[in-house]
Structure 1
Amino acid sequence: MDTVTAGIVSDLGFVEEMDRVRTWLNTWIAGTGTDLKPLLEWQFVEGSKYFRPLTIFGCYRATHGAKADIPDTMIRSAAVLEMMHNMTLIVDDILDHSDERRGIPSLHAKFGSLPALMASGFIVAEGFDMSADDPHDIRMFADLVKRLGVAECAQWRLRRQPLGVADWEEIAGEDTGSMFETCACLATRDDTLRRFGRLIGMLYHGCDDVGDVKGLEGLGGGGEEDLRDGILTLPASLAIQDRAICDMFCKAEPSAAELDQIKHAMIAQLPAADAHLDKLAKDAKWQAQTKTKEPKVLEELVDYTRELSRR
């Protein structure tokens, strides 16, 4: 597990539950065929952050009690959610031409694009098969996969456009936000914390954007790829309010010098981006406080999420 997330897991008291998720995934991988097993072992490395299962467990405890045992059904839900997340990572790496993830070659760089794409489809099919006896989870995962597909197409369509922070919120809310919404709904089995999930997902997405610009390792995104492809990140949405920067950002192929100017304009907007993230964090905490009787675990989760862009 990623060392930063490992500390958070320990602080929140979910070490045993996370071990159960890893055991579930490792057992599943061990039972796959010889053609897929090496790819799955490579993709599901120990460096995974497991932040989404952590969110599921936090939402469960917030609504069921601070000392509530996490049932096996919730471990399964968390493992399948992590599988769906890894499917998106594989596709994103191919789309972004990213040859590395977590400091090692990405799946397509190691095994080729076709095997990687087939593995991503296999992962999703296996996740639905694991959830076959749970209509609620099936509906949640089906909705998630559809929303992620639409969000990715929308984000690609809206590249190099003169948009703003509200547009970034819509993109982030459907991209990362939909994943964390699903985490919350898997935990509560209803919509009680859906809004909380969306907000912490947007916060995670924005912290990734800011961390990339700051030159941090980030939370899984790709700062150089986003800048190259004209993706609307949070710092970019603020920087392009300047007309000259916007004109460069919207060019089909900005020059190296123009990309450098855009990057420096984004750096200059980091204080404003941080302020926006602080507001999202505050809103997420308010949802936790008003929707649950045990908000502390979710408040701490929000604080940890917010700190990730500062490490």
Structure 2
Amino acid sequence: MDTVTRGIVADLGFLPEMDRLRDRLFAWIAESSAELRPLLEWQFDAGSKYFRPLTIFGCYRAQKGGEIPDNVIRSAAVLEMMHNMTLVIDDILDLSDERRGKPTMHAKFGNLPALMASGFIAADGFAMVADDAHDIRLFADLVKRLGVAECAQWRLRRQPLGVKDWEMIAGEDTGSMFETCACLATRDETLRKFGRLIGMLYHGCDDVGDVKGLESLGGGGEEDLRDGILTLPAALAIEDKAICDLFCKDAPSDGELQRISKAMIARLPDAEAHLDQIASDAKWEAQVNTGDPGVLLELVDYTRELSRR
């Protein structure tokens, strides 16, 4: 766990739960195939931020209170497994050689082993919750939505889209996973919209953090700019037709990419204001749908601060 997240986890009072989560993940790895165990150890010992399990724990405590039970720890472990499955694939797609300061799985072990490991992770995740029809339905729906979202985001590269389009993409890409977090915790739909909003907030803070040159929350600023991915700052910058024309080119030059980047930097205040509104909406959802929203309000504040470091 990185130092920033560890401080947040400690402030929210979830260090014991996070230790239980890590123990479960590494017990699974220890019992996994000897062929893939080195890849799994490499992937899961990479300084994860664990924001998704943290959201599960926060939603559970806000609605139900008390100690986090073992079945919720298990759900959080499987969610983290599904998240890492997507990271392995994203890194291959983005041609990313590093994540969190160390070589990505495919850079270390090769594309074929990494792809096989991603499938292994997902399969074992489903096996781990095989006795829980509720979790199986949620994870199946999540994997389908993530696949559709990734294809849509790739298809919509270099298109003259806007902030509403970004909200749709962010809501399905990252938002769907945080929606799942909320529903795993509460076992109903009460906090699904809260989950979607905090996922969009996380996604947008990642976009802004990349443009600012901060340590990424999981995305890749240079790759997104190169590939014409619609980030929040890009959606605002391309409201200028000249910048939009450059953004939509198949292969913009280095100088043109620099112009787009400068235009994105100029629109950062507007991006931050948009994130403030999403954070406000998330807090409202927490307040009207839980009896004790304090932990979720703090979680929104911590998430919002990630792009301001």
TM-score normalized by the length of structure 2: 1.00
Residue 227 (structure 2) pairs with residue 248 (structure 1): no
- What amino acid does structure 1 have at the position aligned with 2:10? S
SS at the partner of 1:309?
A: coil
In the aligned structure 2, how far is the partner of 1:249 from the partner of 1:161? 8
SS at the partner of 2:307?
A: helix
- What amino acid does structure 2 have at the position aligned with 1:296? G
Q: Deviations over 1:129-158 (max 9, x none)?
A: 000000000000000000000000000000
CA RMSD of aligned residues (A): 0.5
In the aligned structure 2, how far is the partner of 1:187 from the partner of 1:33? 30
How far has the Cα of 1:310 moved from its partner?
Answer: 1.0
Residue 106 (structure 2) pairs with residue 82 (structure 1): no
- What amino acid does structure 2 have at the position aligned with 1:132? A
What is residue 160 of structure 2 aligned with on the other side?
Answer: 162
Following superposition of structure 1 onto structure 2, how do residues 1-311 of structure 1 map, counting pairs within 5 Å? 1-65=1-65, 68-311=66-309
- What amino acid does structure 1 have at the position aligned with 2:17? E
Aligned-pair identity (%): 79
In the aligned structure 2, how far is the partner of 1:263 from the partner of 1:129? 44
Asked whether the 8 Å contact 2:62–2:291 carries over to 1, the reply is yes
How far has the Cα of 1:46 moved from its partner?
Answer: 5.0
How far has the Cα of 1:253 moved from its partner?
Answer: 0.4
How far has the Cα of 1:34 moved from its partner?
Answer: 1.4
In the aligned structure 2, how far is the partner of 1:46 from the partner of 1:272? 33
SS at the partner of 1:70?
A: coil
In the aligned structure 2, how far is the partner of 1:212 from the partner of 1:8? 21
In the aligned structure 2, how far is the partner of 1:97 from the partner of 1:176? 20
TM-score normalized by the length of structure 1: 0.99
Asked whether the 8 Å contact 2:46–2:102 carries over to 1, the reply is no
Asked whether the 8 Å contact 2:91–2:97 carries over to 1, the reply is yes
- What amino acid does structure 2 have at the position aligned with 1:278? D
In the aligned structure 1, how far is the partner of 2:55 from the partner of 2:278? 16
Asked whether the 8 Å contact 1:81–1:183 carries over to 2, the reply is yes
In the aligned structure 1, how far is the partner of 2:40 from the partner of 2:50? 16
SS at the partner of 1:61?
A: helix
- What amino acid does structure 1 have at the position aligned with 2:78? V
Which blocks of at least 5 consecutive residues in structure 2 are unaligned?
Answer: none
List, as ranges, runs of 4+ consecutive aligned residues in structure 1 with deviation greater than 2 Å.
Answer: none
- What amino acid does structure 1 have at the position aligned with 2:49? K
